[in-house]
Chain A
Amino acid sequence: MRVDFRGVGVVPGMAVGTIRRVETSLTAAMAAYVSGAQENENEKILAAQAVVAARLTAQATACAAVGQGLQADILTTQQLMVQDPMLTEKIQNQTAVGLSAPQAILTATEEEAAIFDAMDDAYLRERAADIRCAGQAIARQVLGISEIDFSGDKAVILAGITIEPSLLASLPAGRLVGVLLGEGSRTSHAVILARARSLPTIVGVGEFLPQLRDGDEVLLDGEQGLVRLQPTSAEVAVVAADRRQQDFLREQDAALRDLPAVTPDGVRVSLLANIGTSAEVAPALEQGAEGIGLFRSEVLFLGRASLPTEEEQYIAYRAAVENCRGKRCVFRTLDIGGDKPLAYLDLPTESNPFLGWRAIRISLDRPDLFQPQLRAILRAGAYGPVAVLLPMIISADEVRAARQQLEKARTDLLAEGIACADTVPLGLMIETPAAALTAKVLAQQADFFSIGTNDLIQYTLAADRGNPKVSSLYSPFHPAVLQLILQTISAGREAGIPVGMCGEMAGDSAAAVLLLAMGISELSMTATLIPRVKAKLRQVTAKRAKNILDAVLAMHDAAVIEKYLPMVLQ
């Protein structure tokens, strides 16, 4: 008999397991509780808070020790709530009027939670559930209700109105496969923990929770918010296969993370990440990024009513540098133009913003904008290795002018006694045909190159990628594009400077093979693409890559090349 229930899916994924209900009703235990004098009750409360807090702290430490920072933070927050002086005061107000310890705890907790329920801010309203969890934990400790014992259960799906984060954290990985919550939302602590452990989770199941009993076998679909009782063996098999696949891919990626991107015959490429905020550094390093090849500084400038000050930029850049923990962070200077209006910058209306006043052109015309940015980067450079990358360069003049600005910024900072980096490599984005064709000359002025294929391809093929009528003309494998890239890399190598790529092409595994053969030093891409590119480079010898490149360079059509590559790189 097919029985389906629906809730709100908050963590995607499928799971099959046995229901274990988490009982939150304390009525029976409360009825059996024998209360004592006020001081006795207060003592019990303080002792219970200490025990629960110690458990949470131990769990937080354990999580932190294995790099599970997010989970550690959640558990620490729960611990601070459990021992919050304001909550304690409210609880003691209740014992003072004669309530028993558990009653006082639950009453005071409810009072505090209700304050948060009534707040304007959605984030604060969602904290109410976490506060109730904290109160529950203390009350259960006083009532002597022990933690649920899960030994023997193979695949458990926890179901309850609320589930204490502490309980979620205590279940060993693999044992717990899914979570069903009556209350809660995307940002509840329990849900955040479940997400961090990739556990399919559905909330809003309160109505049908009574129909789920201990021992029921259910199938969960966290994407659809579907709970299916008594799934067929065929359905179970599908879920099992899917999970095995997910686990396999996750393990592979994890194993790959610390391995270098090196071909079987020893040719190495550095794989880096492109980001826009300091918060993305840690996840990028998780994927195996060896550094940040592109920090898009314009993210800081967009969607604001006023210019970010030098101080604000410094704080953001420094956070990124510190998160890099010794790996290099390359900051691209402001790369915006007429296509992305900024309220506070008087950008002229242009009929052709992509060929207009943008990027380095703005910076060089406006030292009042350029200096604060350069100063902020230099100051952040006191905390770790940084580099400056100039966008949209077309001539050596621009580079000389920019280098003068950089020197001025550094001299000023030193004169002001402000700590800053010693030497900062100055790199150029090679993203215009002019830059690629005169790369030899530019290489004399630059410390490194980074090829920006997104714009290079558009300018070279004279086709707007965003225009549906001509977007099919855009291809990184057009012979003209490959020639310009080859020319750039050769010029860089001759001059002895590293050549990297930060355009989308860098994240394409097939392209990576060609680029390796051309002599690229670094590929910087969206972090999630790193494992695939690394896997490909570890499979193909440099010798074979060269043969493939030679074949490709003899071809005349992007379409032909695009068919050839997947075939030969099977």
Chain B
Amino acid sequence: MQREVFHMVNRAGMHARPAALLVKTAAQFQARVTLSLGAKKADARSLLMLMGLGAKEGMDLIVEADGPDEAAALAAIRRLFAKNFGE
């Protein structure tokens, strides 16, 4: 299992668009990916759980990937956050 912390830079936080990108990205890997904000945890396959985290600009999200391709999964998610989900 690998874990990394990412900063939510989007002005609008985790709204539908970045959440959808996360779902699509996580779906490409076998590893189980979860995002946590404080006590709340979301499965990256679920758009509703991701949005339900209520992550806003400036918040830190802990991303965990667990599985054979966990490093690749984390790298892909790192790229998403790095380019601010294309916004």
**Which residues on A are within 8 Å of B, measured CB to CB?**
73, 76-77, 80-81, 84-87, 112, 115-116, 119-121, 123-124, 127, 131, 278-279, 312, 315-316, 318-319, 322
Report B-chain residues with C-beta under 8 Å of the C-beta of A121.
Answer: 54, 56
Question: Is B68 an interface position by the 8 A CB rule?
Answer: no
A488 vs B79: C-alpha distance in the bound complex, in angstroms?
45
A319 and B86 in contact (CB under 8 A), knowing A77-B20, A81-B47, A85-B45? yes
Contact B83 A319 (CB under 8 A): yes
Report A-chain residues with C-beta under 8 Å of the C-beta of B86.
Answer: 319, 322
A318 vs B86: C-alpha distance in the bound complex, in angstroms?
9
A86 and B46 in contact (CB under 8 A), knowing A73-B17, A80-B23, A318-B83? yes
Interface centre among A73, A85, A87, A322, by most chain B C-beta atoms within 10 angstroms, is: A85
- Chain B nearest CB from A59 CB (Å) reads 15
A217 vs B2: C-alpha distance in the bound complex, in angstroms?
61
Contact B46 A319 (CB under 8 A): no
A127 vs B17: C-alpha distance in the bound complex, in angstroms?
13
Contact A124 B51 (CB under 8 A): yes
Report A-chain residues with C-beta under 8 Å of the C-beta of B16.
Answer: 73, 77, 127
A77 vs B51: C-alpha distance in the bound complex, in angstroms?
11
- Chain A nearest CB from B79 CB (Å) reads 12
B49-83 interface code vs A (CB 8 A; 1 in, 0 out):
10110101000000000000000000000000011
Question: Is B12 an interface position by the 8 A CB rule?
Answer: yes
Q: List 11 A-B contacts (CB under 8 A).
A: A77-B17, A77-B47, A80-B20, A86-B48, A115-B52, A120-B54, A123-B15, A279-B87, A312-B9, A316-B84, A319-B87
Report A-chain residues with C-beta under 8 Å of the C-beta of B51.
Answer: 116, 124, 127
Contact A76 B20 (CB under 8 A): yes
Report B-chain residues with C-beta under 8 Å of the C-beta of A278.
Answer: 87
**Which residues on B are within 8 Å of A, measured CB to CB?**
9, 12, 15-17, 20, 23, 43, 45-49, 51-52, 54, 56, 82-84, 86-87
Contact A84 B48 (CB under 8 A): yes
Contact A315 B47 (CB under 8 A): no
Q: Which of A84, A119, A123 contacts B47 (CB 8 A)?
A: A84
- Chain B nearest CB from A218 CB (Å) reads 32
Report A-chain residues with C-beta under 8 Å of the C-beta of B46.
Answer: 84-87
A76 vs B47: C-alpha distance in the bound complex, in angstroms?
11
- Chain A nearest CB from B22 CB (Å) reads 10
Report B-chain residues with C-beta under 8 Å of the C-beta of A84.
Answer: 46-49
A278 vs B84: C-alpha distance in the bound complex, in angstroms?
11
- Chain A nearest CB from B11 CB (Å) reads 9
Report A-chain residues with C-beta under 8 Å of the C-beta of B54.
Answer: 119-121, 124
- Chain A nearest CB from B17 CB (Å) reads 6
Contact B47 A80 (CB under 8 A): yes
- Chain A nearest CB from B2 CB (Å) reads 22
A131 vs B84: C-alpha distance in the bound complex, in angstroms?
26
Report A-chain residues with C-beta under 8 Å of the C-beta of B84.
Answer: 315-316, 319
Contact A123 B20 (CB under 8 A): no
- Chain B nearest CB from A299 CB (Å) reads 12
A115 vs B53: C-alpha distance in the bound complex, in angstroms?
11
Report A-chain residues with C-beta under 8 Å of the C-beta of B52.
Answer: 115-116, 119, 124
A218 vs B87: C-alpha distance in the bound complex, in angstroms?
40
Report B-chain residues with C-beta under 8 Å of the C-beta of A119.
Answer: 52, 54
Give the top 6 A-B pairs by smallest Cβ distance, nearest first: A80-B47, A86-B46, A77-B16, A84-B48, A315-B84, A85-B46
A468 vs B36: C-alpha distance in the bound complex, in angstroms?
54
- Chain A nearest CB from B16 CB (Å) reads 4
Report B-chain residues with C-beta under 8 Å of the C-beta of A81.
Answer: 47-48
Report A-chain residues with C-beta under 8 Å of the C-beta of B56.
Answer: 121
Contact A315 B20 (CB under 8 A): no
A121 vs B16: C-alpha distance in the bound complex, in angstroms?
13
A452 vs B84: C-alpha distance in the bound complex, in angstroms?
32
Report A-chain residues with C-beta under 8 Å of the C-beta of B87.
Answer: 278-279, 319
- Chain A nearest CB from B60 CB (Å) reads 15
- Chain B nearest CB from A281 CB (Å) reads 11
- Chain B nearest CB from A322 CB (Å) reads 8
- Chain A nearest CB from B13 CB (Å) reads 8
